């Protein structure tokens, strides 16, 4: 498959314009990119965990989805999608439907790393033929930027505020991609929106067209929570990848592969300084924070490289 | 055909005869046997249902919601903490108007942990928008289950088919079963108008319902619940034609000329009937009202049946913690408000049988004696009491 963004953009949009996500939000861009990876002749049922995405794209009576869509709660999206997929298999077996459907579920990091982890783990273990896409914006943005287990250390979130006795979040980010890979599912990948969108497109296509449960973790920056200018989404994504804060890789049938290695690994401060949530790290006397952040990213990156073939 | 089976097996057998599309279930005592029996039917190729062995009851109900919205007939079974864990999603299922059928094997809620029967689990979710039908014995739970889908799918409301944990779920009784063909033609094919997988007609389910729309959705549910009464009667009538067994919203036992009555739900009705029968032989006009359908609430039927009765004990197998009686009492009392004073019975709340506390024929004899004293006195001394609690002087012993 030769990927050409222009041709892909000529496909009929499955995620309609006019949704109510913020300007500069990564979630909507991620959803468009993933849904564009569906072959045009295939139908899909798109599902959501309760999230910014859900409350901005299906406000009664308007839906932003051209495909069938279902949402029911915050913590159950994977199990619910498994129910839809099971119904598809049985109705097909019974001759009640004949079209091909794909099942793509989107949840934020709160609904995936935290409250929905059990439901996701169960659905992955049971082997439903579905793709779960986490759009990771590293905090509970829908309720007002509270920390999640996906929030990185030092980030200023509303439940880990920076103060005279606090430097922001204490703990490092949970490595969810590795946790899902440990389920032994056929395809797991980390991606984000870069350049001509080839990386996210190819990974989404592979996830959608690999039989069995597949998982994509998409870094999806949030201009409100991360405090960057709304024009800067693409640059923030690029810096996350080139600093190795968000490495791009995939795990195919248990084999780990890096899908991108920066020619020059940039210092983590290049990524941090663009965002208001890390502003306190650049105050005099706080140099140790940047040092520790750099050490952590370096360690994770070396471990990942050692794991990849 | 005649057989002998437990209440759990009877439910699983009804499920097998119906052969629904998707079952999502998680083990919890005392309902565990239902998915167990059902899994064996699947393993032996006797049904074609897809069984999703989920990791929790929360995911069981989520699976049913997804499957039902997709156009499948979806079922589950649970008890107690499992039902409590589903609580959030019960409202979602009801508001999305998904006719999911849930077998509830009633068990006490934890605090302290207890695996035996009472109704606090399903009473806890009585206002979630589900139809609730309760059974006295194995035959009834089988019969109620066969009627569940024709009611739920017509009304587009989910339904709970409840039975008493261990008392009926594990006790083996004689039972009269319908033939598979009879069941299949009675229940029919599920053919929803809109569903996620419908050809050329995408559907969106589960919106963010803002204030200008939310109330219309709730009113729609409320209307459906009110109208479900008519459908419950229609289905019961059709069921009587194939089975010879009749059902309504309530069952009245010796109520035509009763001076004293108990109103209750579930298996204890059999014990109450035995007591009433005995007292009739001694010339005491005792009667029993068994509430079969709790949602929608049979207020018209109760008002008619209780008109002119002298004294009534409304018995709750759950503690409402309202400070003056259980939920069945509160709603029964409300139903009688419009009766003229001369026809309005003296009413009291009796909370009984919590966590499997036994009630026997002699317990009911003590209750009827107490009702006679109340009628004699012309006033209710203690409106809210408990049955069989050690050291409880205001309560009823027996």
Q: What tens digit of pLDDT does each residue of A106-125 get?
A: 999 999 999 999 999 999 99
CB atoms within 10 A of CB A294: 15
Residues from chain B contacting residue A118 (CB–CB below 8 Å): 55-56, 58-59
The residue among B50, B52, B62 with the most chain A CBs within 10 A of its CB, best to mutate, is: B62
Domains in chain B, please, with CATH?
2-243 (3.40.50.970), 250-386 (3.40.50.920)
Could you give the CA distance from residue B22 to residue B9 in angstroms, rounded to a whole number? 18
Residues from chain A contacting residue B71 (CB–CB below 8 Å): 87, 91, 96-97
3-state secondary structure of B384: strand
Q: What tens digit of pLDDT does each residue of B321-366 get?
A: 999 999 999 999 999 999 999 999 999 999 999 999 999 999 999 9
Residues from chain A contacting residue B128 (CB–CB below 8 Å): none
Residues from chain A contacting residue B213 (CB–CB below 8 Å): 60-61
Considering only CB atoms, B70 lies closest to which of A59, A65, A87, namely A87
Whether the CB of A61 is below 8 Å from some CB of chain B: the reply is yes
Q: Which residues, 6+ apart, have CB-to-CB distance to A19 below 8 Å?
A: A28, A56, A57, A64
This complex has an ipTM of: 0.98
Q: Which residues, 6+ apart, have CB-to-CB distance to B133 below 8 Å?
A: B144, B147, B148, B159, B160, B161, B162, B232, B292, B293, B294
State whether A83 and B65 contact (CB < 8 Å). yes
pLDDT score, position A1:
59
Task: Give the residue-averaged pLDDT of B39-53.
Answer: 98
Helix, strand and coil percent figures for chain A, each rounded to 5 = 40, 20, 40
Q: Which residue of B has its CA nearest to A92?
A: B197
Q: How far is CA B299 from CA B234, B240, B255, B262, in A?
A: 18, 23, 16, 16
Per domain, the residue ranges of chain A are: 5-307
CATH superfamily of A5-307: Thiamin diphosphate (ThDP)-binding fold, Pyr/PP domains (3.40.50.970)
Residues of chain A predicted below pLDDT 70: 1
Residues from chain B contacting residue A88 (CB–CB below 8 Å): 70, 197
Average pLDDT of chain B is 98
Query: What would the two tokens of residue B80 be?
Result: 């107690």
Answer yes or no: is pLDDT of B398 > 90.
Answer: no
CB A150 within 8 A of CB A113: yes
- Burial letters A28-50, b for 16+ CB under 10 A, else e: bbbbbbbbbbbeeeebbbbbbbb
Cα dihedral A149, A154, A155, A157 in deg (nearest 10): 80
State whether A73 and B49 contact (CB < 8 Å). no
The residue among B42, B45, B63, B72 with the most chain A CBs within 10 A of its CB, best to mutate, is: B63
Q: Which residue of B has its CA nearest to A51?
A: B208
Q: What is the DSSP letter of A112?
A: I
Q: What tens digit of pLDDT does each residue of B91-112 get?
A: 999 999 999 999 999 999 999 9
The residue among B23, B47, B66 with the most chain A CBs within 10 A of its CB, best to mutate, is: B66
Could you give the CA distance from residue A139 to residue B390 in angstroms, rounded to a whole number? 53
Q: Establish whether the linkage from the previous residue to A271 is cis, with ω within 30° of 0.
A: no
φ, ψ for residue B126, nearest 5 deg: -65, -20
Could you give the CA distance from residue A65 to residue B298 in angstroms, rounded to a whole number? 43
Q: Is the dihedral of CA B98, B99, B104, B108 positive or negative?
A: positive
pLDDT score, position A18:
86
Could you give the CA distance from residue B298 to residue B250 in angstroms, rounded to a whole number? 7
Considering only CB atoms, A83 lies closest to which of B52, B208, B213, namely B52
Answer yes or no: is pLDDT of B242 > 70.
Answer: yes
Q: What stretches of chain A show up as alpha helix (H) in DSSP?
A: 5-10, 26-36, 52-57, 77-93, 109, 117-126, 176-181, 198-208, 223-226, 233-242, 268-272, 287-307
Query: What would the two tokens of residue A17 be?
Result: 């314009």
Could you give the CA distance from residue A39 to residue A41 in angstroms, rounded to a whole number? 6
Query: What would the two tokens of residue B169 be?
Result: 């779920």
Q: Which residue of B has its CA nearest to A14?
A: B202
Whether the CB of A100 is below 8 Å from some CB of chain B: the reply is no
């Amino acid at each position: 498959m030769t990927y050409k963004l222009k041709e892909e953009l000529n496909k009929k949009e499955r995620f309609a314009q006019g949704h109510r996500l913020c300007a500069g939000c990564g979630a909507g861009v991620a959803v468009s990119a993933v849904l564009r990876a569906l072959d045009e002749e295939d139908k899909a049922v798109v599902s959501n965990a309760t999230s910014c995405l859900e409350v901005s794209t299906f406000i009664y009576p308007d839906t932003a989805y051209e495909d069938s869509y279902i949402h029911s709660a915050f913590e159950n999206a994977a199990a619910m999608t498994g129910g839809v997929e099971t119904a598809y298999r049985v109705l097909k077996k019974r001759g009640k439907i004949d079209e091909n459907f794909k099942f793509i579920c989107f949840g934020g990091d709160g609904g995936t790393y935290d409250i929905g982890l059990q439901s996701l783990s169960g659905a992955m273990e049971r082997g439903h033929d579905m793709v779960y896409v986490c759009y990771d914006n590293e905090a509970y943005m829908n309720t007002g930027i509270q920390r999640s287990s996906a929030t990185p250390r030092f980030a200023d979130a509303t439940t880990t505020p920076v103060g005279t006795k606090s430097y922001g979040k204490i703990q490092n980010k949970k490595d969810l991609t590795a946790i899902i890979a440990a389920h032994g599912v056929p395809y797991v990948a980390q991606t984000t929106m870069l350049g001509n969108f080839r990386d996210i497109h190819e990974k989404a296509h592979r996830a959608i067209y690999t039989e069995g449960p597949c998982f994509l973790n998409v870094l999806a920056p949030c201009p409100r929570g991360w405090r960057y200018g709304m024009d800067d989404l693409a640059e923030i994504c690029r810096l996350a990848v080139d600093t190795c804060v968000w490495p791009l890789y995939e795990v195919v049938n248990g084999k780990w592969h890096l899908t991108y290695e920066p020619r020059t690994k940039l210092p983590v401060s290049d990524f941090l300084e663009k965002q208001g949530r890390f502003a306190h790290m650049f105050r005099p006397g706080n140099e140790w924070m940047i040092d520790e952040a750099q050490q952590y990213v370096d360690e994770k990156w070396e471990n990942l490289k050692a794991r990849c073939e | 055909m005649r057989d002998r089976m437990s209440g759990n097996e009877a439910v699983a057998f009804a499920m097998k005869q119906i052969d629904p599309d998707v079952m999502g279930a998680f083990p919890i005592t005392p309902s565990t046997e239902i998915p167990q029996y059902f899994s064996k039917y699947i393993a032996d190729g006797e049904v074609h249902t897809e069984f999703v062995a989920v990791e929790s009851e929360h995911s069981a109900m989520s699976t049913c919601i997804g499957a039902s919205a997709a156009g499948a007939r979806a079922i589950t079974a649970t008890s107690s903490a499992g039902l409590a864990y589903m609580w959030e999603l019960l409202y979602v299922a009801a508001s999305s108007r998904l006719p999911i059928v849930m077998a509830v094997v009633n068990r006490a809620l934890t605090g302290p942990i207890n695996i035996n029967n009472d109704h606090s689990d399903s009473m806890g979710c009585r206002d979630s928008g589900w139809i609730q039908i309760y059974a006295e014995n194995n035959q009834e739970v089988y019969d109620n289950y066969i009627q569940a889908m024709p009611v739920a799918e017509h009304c587009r409301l989910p339904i709970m088919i409840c039975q008493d944990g261990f008392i009926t779920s594990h006790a083996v009784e004689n039972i009269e079963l319908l033939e598979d063909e009879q069941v299949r033609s009675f229940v029919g094919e599920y053919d929803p108008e809109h569903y996620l997988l419908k050809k050329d007609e995408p559907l969106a389910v589960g919106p963010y319902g803002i204030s200008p729309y939310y109330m219309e959705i709730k009113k729609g549910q409320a209307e459906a619940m009110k109208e479900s009464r008519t459908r419950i009667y229609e289905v019961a009538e059709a069921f009587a034609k194939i089975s010879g067994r009749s059902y309504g919203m309530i069952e009245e036992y010796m109520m035509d000329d009763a001076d004293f009555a108990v109103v209750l739900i579930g298996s204890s009705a059999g014990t109450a009937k035995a007591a009433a029968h005995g007292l009739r032989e001694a010339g005491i006009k005792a009667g029993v009202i068994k509430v079969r359908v709790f949602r929608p609430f049979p207020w018209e039927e109760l008002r008619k049946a209780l008109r002119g009765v002298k004294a009534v004990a409304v018995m709750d197998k759950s503690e409402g913690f309202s400070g003056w009686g259980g939920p069945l009492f509160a709603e029964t009392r409300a139903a009688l408000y419009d009766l003229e004073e001369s026809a309005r019975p003296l009413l009291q709340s009796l909370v009984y049988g919590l966590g499997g506390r036994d009630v026997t024929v002699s317990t009911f004899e003590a209750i009827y004696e107490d009702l006679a004293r109340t009628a004699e006195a012309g006033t209710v001394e203690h409106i809210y009491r408990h049955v069989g609690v050690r050291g409880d002087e205001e309560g009823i012993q027996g």
